[in-house]
Structure 1
Amino acid sequence: MKKMLLAMAVTLPLFAVQQNLTLERALELVRQNNIEVKVAEQDVLIKEQEHHEAVGYNFGRLDLVVNALRSNDAGNVFGFKLQSREATFRDFGFSDFLAGAGQALQMSGGDFGRFSQIMGDPALQNQLLNTAPDDLNYPDARNHFQEKIQYQIPVYVGGKLLAYGKITDKMTTISKLDRQKVLNQKLFETRKTYYNISLVENFIKNLNTILKNVEDLEETVSNMVKEGYALDIDLLQVQTKKADVLRMINQAKLNRELAYQYLSFLLNDTVISIVVVDNDVPMPRMKRDEMLQRNIDIQKAHMGLEVTDLAIGAEKANFLPQIGAFAEYGSADDTFLNDFSDKDAYTIGVQLKWNVFNGFIDKSKYEKAKIQNMKMQHQVELAKKGIGLQIDKIITSIKSKEYDIQSLREKVEYTQKVYDNYYSRYKEGLLSINDVLIKNSEHIQAVLSLVKTRFERNNKVFELEYIINKGIL
């Protein structure tokens, strides 16, 4: 039983749904759960590792090398013995030489003068010198174990490694800006969808009010038809209008359902209801210069310009010498780790490498880096002017929509009052049903126009917030 309860507790979050979701909670869930945001965060982690990799080259490379070999190759075996500090005169073939010298000694009968004379014989000398030493040419197979530590470090590379470290650091910053841009996009879409759902809810509420008015009108006309004061065609016209309103309500509900599905996709969680907001999105209060400074694309352009500045320095380093240092310490023997300290050896050294000519490739790369830098300067200016123009157009559009909203609110109230007036006069027999339905249509059109304009105005505000990188939460 306890295990079952524990399993249910673990799996419960998988089936959780969001009810009466507030906007603040929705934005928090986007930050935590949105898959595209997570991908952008992982891109930042990748760039950070690339930066660590570039910085790591400054500290050189330390390797532990273990060689385990076996060979009967004459050169290898002789080299193995030298590395193990075990080479003897026998390994040089002195046994065969001593055999020839011994024969000469026997021939001299112990007379040193005679021995010298025999050894001075050119024929005997050629015979001894042409003797192939068997120990040297046909050694026995030998094992060879070599353990060593190698360390290599760049001493001077013209500032190239420093430039690469700074470039990768700038690229990490750019990836963070990209992550922020993705997050801003998702926050923008979430707020837009949230407010759109709220507007649809209000629109459905208004349509239900209109439906109630049409149903009241339908009842009135139905009673008048019974009493002979109206025609059946009047009732049919009202019922047609009622069908239109019901169709609009059904369409609005379908749009609301689709918006909920998209909101669930953004939050990577199921949303079935929200806390409806009645107010419109407030306009950001910020100076134009600050808006431009906060824009992510402009920040990225500035960062890209700094990267091209560093790239020029990196390419210039190709004209300078490169100096590296090397150190090695180890030991070798025919048995692994045998007499390590007695047979150890070290090697240290420094290498200078300076390219003299490579077909002007380095010069072309350097000129290319300078051209890219000039191009990036122009792109920064273009970004400032283009985004500045975009901000001005959006602000102008928002102001225009706000004026339209104020006017349409008054029109909705006015058309409602006109409809009520026409409805009263119709009941008195002063107007035809067509006149009443026309005013009802005008009222519906005014409500539709108001909702549409509020949609458009809010979306423009969200777009402005996205462009100026307005902080949320």
Structure 2
Amino acid sequence: MKKINLIVLLGTISISTIGYSQDTLTISKKDIWQKASDKNLQIKIANQDYKSAQADYRQSNSLFLPSITASHTAISTTNPLMAFGSKLNQEILTASDFNPDMLNNPAKTQNFATKFEIQQPLINIDGIYGRQAAKSKMEAFQLQTERTKEYLELNVSKAFMQLQLAYKAIKVLEKADVTGKANLKLVENYFKQGMLQKTDLLNVQVRVNEITNQLQYAKSNIQNASDYLGFLLNEDTTNKVFKPIEELDNTISIEVVNTQLSDNRKDIQAMNKSTEAYQKMLQSSKMNFFPRLNAFGSYELYDRTLFGTSAKGYLVGAQLSWSLFDGYKSIGKMEKAKADFQKSEIETQQYKAQSQLDLNKTNRQLKDAENKVNLSKLAFEQSQEAYRIRQNRFTQGLEKTTDLLQSETQMIQKELEYLQSVFEYNFTKQYLQFLTR
């Protein structure tokens, strides 16, 4: 009996209660995948990660585009230097302003300056590699998002098959309930005729109660399977359950699945892109030791009144700068970038080895699952025949009640085991396809 309970658990489904007032929503596998791809929270998180990386890449446009600022400054001063400079900018200096007393003790001077500044990068080699690193990072997140969608598709398929298995288990137990009650009616008739003892009747009653309890327990699993599917679909499943349109197929299809790890797999491509990004960052840190060339310019307006434009002037120029020594900062930054790059290479190598290990393991599991399906199907068919024979012999008074109950229990157990083995095979095959996708 414990084995049957474990099978009905369906591996990941726990206890809950289904109310009779719940809504039953029919779903198809195609529809739920479309909903999941649009509404799943993990997909939304992955999309936001990609958008964040995309924004980082767009920031690198500043490597080619100018930076333009505008400002308006108002001052009032008696500072000799500032007062003289303000008048000079306003183009209102007179000969009397060169009087030493006026220079040393100027009157309060007001100045309003409107300034437009532009800075244009020309040659920044480190920035070019930094931009390439940002692009590789963005592409890595894009690939990872696509892999997340593939993983979600696998999980949705698994949850859908679990729901199918739950409904199939209910059908098996409902059939067992009908059979048990029919046997109980037969035993009650034999007991009334004095052909069986009361212990036989009690054993059958206990068996019928056990099936009824298992049936209610299996029905509660429908809610848990629906809750998990609702979580993947980002839908509230309170007071409602899902019911698959397609039933669990009891047959399996043997297909040849590629067992070689492909470098075209989205997650492996993402790892390679991530390593490429670290490599570009290392090159960028090396280019820090090269000079930078930037152009700049400004256009200025001065007046004694707010937003006045009586005096004008401009400034243009270019700057070649070279950081010769910054206290070991650039060297340390380069060493860190080198360590990060080498770490990323090792992590990629480890991930590929782990992926190949999982692939080999899953390939063996698929073969084991195929063998289990064949054996469990044979065992189920044999248990059906054994129960049929015992039931016929029991009606003829040639079998004990306990033997009949044991045969019935075994038949139900083998049928549930067969359904479970079909589910395991189909999921293992899909998981293997996911690993080689």
Q: Flag whether TM exceeds 0.5 (same fold).
A: yes
- Is 1:204–2:170 an aligned residue pair? yes
- Is 1:237–2:208 an aligned residue pair? no
- Is 1:344–2:350 an aligned residue pair? no
- In the TM superposition, what whole-angstrom CA distance separates every residue of 1:427-452 from its partner, at most 9, and x where no partner exists? 11111111111111211221232233
Whole-angstrom CA distance in 2 between matches of 1:284 and 1:79:
87
CA 151–457 in structure 1, closer or farther in 2 if over 3 Å, else same: same
Whole-angstrom CA distance in 2 between matches of 1:181 and 1:32:
15
Q: Which residue of 2 aligns with 1:406?
A: 374
Quick one: which of 133, 136, 141 aligns to 1:167? Answer: 133
Shift of residue 81 of structure 1? 0.4
CA 30–226 in structure 1, closer or farther in 2 if over 3 Å, else same: same
Three-state SS of the structure 2 residue aligned to 1:32 is helix
- In the TM superposition, what whole-angstrom CA distance separates every residue of 1:208-267 from its partner, at most 9, and x where no partner exists? 111111111111111111111111111111111111111211111111111111111211
Q: Which residue of 1 aligns with 2:94?
A: 88
* Aligned residue identity for 1:239: Q
Whole-angstrom CA distance in 2 between matches of 1:358 and 1:244:
80
CA 84–282 in structure 1, closer or farther in 2 if over 3 Å, else same: farther
Shift of residue 334 of structure 1? 0.7
Q: Which residue of 1 aligns with 2:398?
A: 430
Q: Which residue of 1 aligns with 2:9?
A: none
Shift of residue 422 of structure 1? 0.2
Correspondence list, 1:367-446, <5 A: 367-446=335-414
- In the TM superposition, what whole-angstrom CA distance separates every residue of 1:275-327 from its partner, at most 9, and x where no partner exists? 133226867755334x4224333212211221122122101111111222111
Whole-angstrom CA distance in 1 between matches of 2:150 and 2:258:
20
Q: Return 406-415 or 445-454, whichever deviates more.
A: 445-454
Whole-angstrom CA distance in 1 between matches of 2:67 and 2:252:
57
Whole-angstrom CA distance in 2 between matches of 1:281 and 1:323:
68
Shift of residue 71 of structure 1? 2.4
Whole-angstrom CA distance in 2 between matches of 1:263 and 1:327:
61
Q: Which residue of 2 aligns with 1:137?
A: 104
- In the TM superposition, what whole-angstrom CA distance separates every residue of 1:103-131 from its partner, at most 9, and x where no partner exists? xxxxxxxxxxxxxxxxxxxxxxxxxxxxx
Q: Which residue of 2 aligns with 1:122?
A: none
Q: Return 174-183 or 241-250, whichever deviates more.
A: 174-183
Whole-angstrom CA distance in 2 between matches of 1:299 and 1:283:
30
- Is 1:248–2:214 an aligned residue pair? yes
CA contact (8 A) 2:163 2:226 kept: yes
Shift of residue 414 of structure 1? 1.5
Quick one: which of 259, 278, 293 aligns to 1:288? Answer: 259
CA contact (8 A) 2:294 2:318 kept: yes
Q: Which residue of 1 aligns with 2:17?
A: none
TM-score of the two chains, using structure 1 as the length reference:
0.81
Instruction: Give structure 1 stretches of 5+ with no counterpart.
Output: 1-16, 94-131
Whole-angstrom CA distance in 1 between matches of 2:353 and 2:255:
20
CA contact (8 A) 2:165 2:420 kept: no
Shift of residue 35 of structure 1? 2.0
Larger Rg: 1
Structure 1 or 2: more helix by fraction: 1
Three-state SS of the structure 1 residue aligned to 2:305 is coil
Whole-angstrom CA distance in 1 between matches of 2:123 and 2:219:
70
CA contact (8 A) 1:146 1:331 kept: yes
- Is 1:154–2:127 an aligned residue pair? no
Whole-angstrom CA distance in 1 between matches of 2:180 and 2:228:
33
- In the TM superposition, what whole-angstrom CA distance separates every residue of 1:369-393 from its partner, at most 9, and x where no partner exists? 3343333333333222221121111
Quick one: which of 423, 430, 436 aligns to 1:455? Answer: 423
Whole-angstrom CA distance in 2 between matches of 1:283 and 1:337:
82
Q: Which residue of 1 aligns with 2:81?
A: 75
CA contact (8 A) 2:154 2:430 kept: yes
Quick one: which of 256, 268, 273 aligns to 2:243? Answer: 273
Quick one: which of 315, 333, 345 aligns to 2:303? Answer: 333
Whole-angstrom CA distance in 2 between matches of 1:284 and 1:152:
63
CA contact (8 A) 1:283 1:461 kept: no
Q: Return 177-186 or 385-394, whichever deviates more.
A: 177-186
Q: Which residue of 2 aligns with 1:362?
A: 330
Whole-angstrom CA distance in 2 between matches of 1:63 and 1:358:
29
Whole-angstrom CA distance in 1 between matches of 2:227 and 2:375:
33
Pairs aligned (count): 410
Whole-angstrom CA distance in 2 between matches of 1:353 and 1:281:
71
Q: Which residue of 2 aligns with 1:195?
A: 161
- Is 1:316–2:316 an aligned residue pair? no
- In the TM superposition, what whole-angstrom CA distance separates every residue of 1:40-70 from its partner, at most 9, and x where no partner exists? 2122112111111112232131111221222
